[in-house]
Amino acid sequence: MAMTTRSLWKGARLARAGVLAFSTVSMLLLGDLGAARAGEPTDQIRAHIGAMYGAQGAATSTPSPSRMDSVRKVADQMFDWSAMAREALGDHWAKRSTEERNEFARLFVNLFEGGYLSKIRLAEADKFEYLGDSVQGDDAVVRTRVVTKNGTAIPVSYRTRRDAGHWRVYDLDVEGISLVRNYRSQFDGQRLSHSMA
């Protein structure tokens, strides 16, 4: 009887070890599958953000004007400025002349670029977590989380659209708030207050 009890304990230990080994292997495989779910949109956003960090240089120093020009070139590849400007202006876009649209787009790019590029320095490159993407046709949302230097985790979703084989950002949601819609409401408010004056 003692032999049987010892055999049962040994069998139970082996079974637990087997379950533990299976669980460990499963987590590793599922972790790899989770990383694999990050598709082409995530890969392109990751590459652009990496290139921006590489171009701006050390996070402890202020980038030189030539480095900032390099960062802007990467941003020009990453963002669809005309789509963002059109969405930010909303229904008023159609009422504007080509000249006015071009001027607004130029001003919008400067405004958005300045805000985005100044914020990107709030976190180290290795503090960007790429959580995956969801693709529907030519549209995709790339989910990220940015941990700032003070430890705050901020969810940022890049809304992208495929354009000639490249995924370009047409909006950013920061903590669930669309930056383009936020700009649109600000611009609408300014127009409303000017039309009432």
Domain containing residue 70: CATH number? 3.10.450.710
The pLDDT of residue 89: 87
Q: Are residues 101 and 155 in the same domain?
A: yes
Q: Are residues 75 and 109 in the same domain?
A: yes
pLDDT class of 187 with cuts at 50, 70, 90: confident
Q: Are residues 64 and 119 in the same domain?
A: yes
Q: Are residues 13 and 52 in the same domain?
A: no
Q: Are residues 43 and 31 in the same domain?
A: no
Q: Are residues 11 and 88 in the same domain?
A: no
Q: Are residues 68 and 104 in the same domain?
A: yes
Q: Are residues 125 and 165 in the same domain?
A: yes
Q: For residue 26, what are the domain limits?
A: 1-36
What totals of helices (H) and strands (E) does the chain contain, helices first? 6, 5
Residue 137 · residue 160 · CB < 8 Å: no
pLDDT class of 23 with cuts at 50, 70, 90: very low
- pLDDT tens figures, 25-34: 333 333 333 3
The stretch 85-111 carries a mean pLDDT of 89
The pLDDT of residue 16: 40
Q: Are residues 147 and 101 in the same domain?
A: yes
Q: How many angstroms separate the CA atoms of 78 and 71, rounded?
A: 11
| Chain centroid to CA 35 | 15
Q: Are residues 93 and 156 in the same domain?
A: yes
Q: Are residues 6 and 101 in the same domain?
A: no
Q: Are residues 27 and 102 in the same domain?
A: no
The stretch 88-106 carries a mean pLDDT of 89
How many separate domains does the chain show? Answer: 2
Q: How many angstroms separate the CA atoms of 61 and 82, rounded?
A: 31
Q: How many angstroms separate the CA atoms of 81 and 75, rounded?
A: 9
